[in-house]
Amino acid sequence: MPQVKIVPKNFMDMVAALPASKLDSLYTNTFFCEAVLRSLPPVSKMYVLRMLYIDAAVSAKLMQEWVLPDSFSKHKAAIDRLLQLRVFTESIDSGTLSREPMPSSVTVRLPTLEELDAYALQQWECFLLQLINSSLVERPTNFSPSMMKVFQRGLITTRDNEAPKLTENGFRFLLMETHTQLWYIMREYISTSEGRGMDTAELISFLLELSFHVTGEAYNMNTLTEVQQIAIKDLATLGLVKLQQGRKESWFIPTKLATNLSVSLSDSSSRKEGFVVVETNFRLYAYSTSKLHCEILRLFCRIEYQLPNLIVGAITKESLYTAFDNGITSEQIILFLQQHAHPRVAQKAPAVPENVTDQIRLWETDLNRVEMNLAHFYEDFPSMDIYEAACDYARELGGFLWEDSKKMRLIVRGEMHEEMKDFLRRQK
Amino acid sequence: MVNAIKGLFISCDVPMAQFIASLNASLPPSQKFIIHMLDNTHMFVQAHAGEMIRNKISEFRDLNSYEKPA
């Protein structure tokens, strides 16, 4: 009997480890619900049955009062199990915002959500373009050159005579997802905030507070402290908020980029519209108007035509070799293509044709056909025993490369030569 | 007394090994760099030959490329 109990417990652990969305979809199956109910510890079962017909959230404090003080640990274990299995979900009553959205009586036209998204995207792309290549941007952002240098540190190497060139990290940065990029920029911004007279802690708490505001609602600027006022101007340049001037007062409107700040801490839920179609003949069609996208595609494919709403390119061996030379890996390229696949092809499995992905990987491995290691070649061993001892010792050190036991020859990594010498001297 | 030779241990696939061997054969005796041919995928060469081998391999690779005239 105890044997039977073990199996469901482990299965439930596995189930509890599934991602939230999968788990939620499993709960639509009645048999699954019953199985979960059966597997719960008795206290949890009781809680579930009690709460079955209650629609509203029950406060944790109230549940604690159901329990005698000395069985508190059992109560805690039961609640934890229920939370793990997502039978209970915590709804945090987050701290209420200290500022109210603008009353609708003020007659100033608020941008619609689409306009806001477009604004945020445009600002962010402008910023990224300026980051990588200032000559491409029509309207430079109002970041001071020193700020831009801070952001570019690690992404771009600027030598005096040559044009600025993207480093390996820079390429990887461009191919990352938007919120990863956002967080990188935020980190750089926050880490230099002390130098500009802004309190880091206040800045961080303001950023996180901003992410809990409602997208599209305008908030009055006079509720911001000085530090926050400076910050908000920078955030507007990045596209996190939109500033709007009323007749007497100015307002700021958080965009989706801002509200996604806290969401993107855990998982990547925001999915932009894909725009890339890759065909089996290695041609690439990108339905995009953005210069940034063109630059990113130029990194690894040969752009053939640029039309008003379409970029046509081809993935060629040469273009990929330049990409690999610049430090981009085939996995990054393939991930980028898959994540930005046009909705029409995204439904097909696989979104990017396998022959293209395979060929990209093959071209990458073609560059590393030969492996070279600095090593030492040992021969003329006096006896088989010493030879075998040396082989084992080399394996222990982790420097073993090759052996020929018939001719008693051994090859060991160059770094271990000193240890091998000592070992062989000891064998005399 | 055990003899130790310093050099470069190369492991690759058979075609590449043949390519390196032919490279070695084409050089005059004073510049030959292979110390030992271990088996058909491994060899032991002189340490300084690494860079030269890499260059020759990239040249060989580029022979197969066709760049469309711009």
- Residues from chain B contacting residue A386 (CB–CB below 8 Å): 2
Q: pTM for this structure?
A: 0.63
* CA–CA min distance A422, chain B (Å): 12
Nearest CA in chain B to A380: B2
Q: Can you give the pLDDT at residue A315?
A: 93
* CA–CA min distance A137, chain B (Å): 26
High-pLDDT (> 70) share of chain A, %: 74
pLDDT tier at A139, thresholds 50, 70, 90? low
Cα(A83)–Cα(A257) distance, integer angstroms: 30
pLDDT tier at A82, thresholds 50, 70, 90? confident
What value does the mean pLDDT take over residues A129-149? 63
With tokens 């060629």, the residue in question is A316
Residue A198: closest CA among A223, A222, A232, A243 = A232
CA neighbours closer than 13 Å in the CB half-sphere of residue B38: 22
Interface ipTM: 0.85
**If DSSP codes are grouped into helix, strand and coil, which group holds residue A107?**
coil
Is B11–A370 a contact, with Cβ atoms under 8 angstroms apart? yes
What value does the mean pLDDT take over residues A282-304? 88
Look over chain A and give the mean of its residue pLDDT values, rounded to a whole number. Answer: 76
The secondary structure of A289-314 as a DSSP string is: --HHHHHHHHHHSEEEEE-SS-EEEE
* CA–CA min distance B44, chain A (Å): 8
Paired tokens of A239: 């596209």
